[in-house]
Amino acid sequence: MSDKPQQVYIDGEFFHESDAKISVFDHGLLYGDGVFEGIRFYNDRVTCLEEHVDRLFDSAKAIHLEIPASQEEVRNMVVETIKRNQLHDGYVRLVVTRGTGGLGLSPYRCEKASIIIIASTISLYPQEKYDQGLILATCATRRPTHDSLSPSVKSLNYLSNVMAKVEALASGAEEGVMLNTEGYVAECTGDNIFVVKGGIILTPTVASGSLNGITRRVVIDLAIKAGFELKEIQMSRYDMYTADELFLTGTAAEVVPVAQYDKRIIGEGKPGPVTRQLIEDYRNLVETTGTPIY
């Protein structure tokens, strides 16, 4: 969090962080019934704002949740929240809950969805991890399947990801790899996965259970523009164990290298040339593009 008090947006008003509250009967709290986006801004510009808000509305539609605002209005809310907090670089958590209802499961008892926006600073990993690489471990907790809730929905119910993170930390790793029910690699607890092998960049297909991350898409475009061959595959742990390079992507994490996975050293145990190039290309992109704030 920032050292200064935060101004939090809730349903058309701004509140001091100590006064920013929702009802105990909000279905987002009671049942994890809602959707969210994590959005970064750099150098007074919001990265991929349209893409994030578009995905928010897609997630809401998928769970039959009506957002009480247009996409343009939500984008303006995000920018205004950053302005109110006088920030220039940081992170936005954009949340839409089902709203206040009764104790029953029925969403139709909730009269109106709530929109909550928090803008602050963030540092998911220390700089040394970008210089040296993360340690990963496979988690026993599996990625939810398409026949329960589509992995494409960024819902407020992240309990499986939380439990996988607990397992990873308990094993001495910093991030956990989640498999699908067939045992293939889906994603990490909060990031997408990329492998470099023989100069070719590989990443799990969305059908494998990975989120079609916005940073994932940006990095795919950057890799192709840089002349790399890139394939989306059904990825196994073997593909990761034997990789020349391994890196993760995510809005909060950006592009972060991996040095070790399940006690196997990846490549030379430090960030490789492809990873380093994509880290540089990504940082150059986000520092110079995006929706202006001020």
- In angstroms, the Cα distances linking 15 to 9, 11, 217 are 6, 10, 34
Q: Residue 135 contacts by C-beta under 8 Å, 6 or more apart in sequence?
A: 172, 173, 174, 175, 258, 259, 260, 261
Burial class (CB in 10 A: 0-12, 13-18, 19+), 5: exposed
Tell me which of 61, 129, 154, 231 is the catalytic residue: 154
Determine how β-strand 114-120 pairs with β-strand 45-46: unpaired
Distance from CA of residue 188 to its chain's centroid? 10
**Among candidate residues 196, 245, 188, the one with its CA nearest the CA of residue 213:** 188
Is 154 considered catalytic here? yes
Q: Cα Rg for the chain, rounded, in angstroms?
A: 19
* Residues carrying an active site annotation: 154
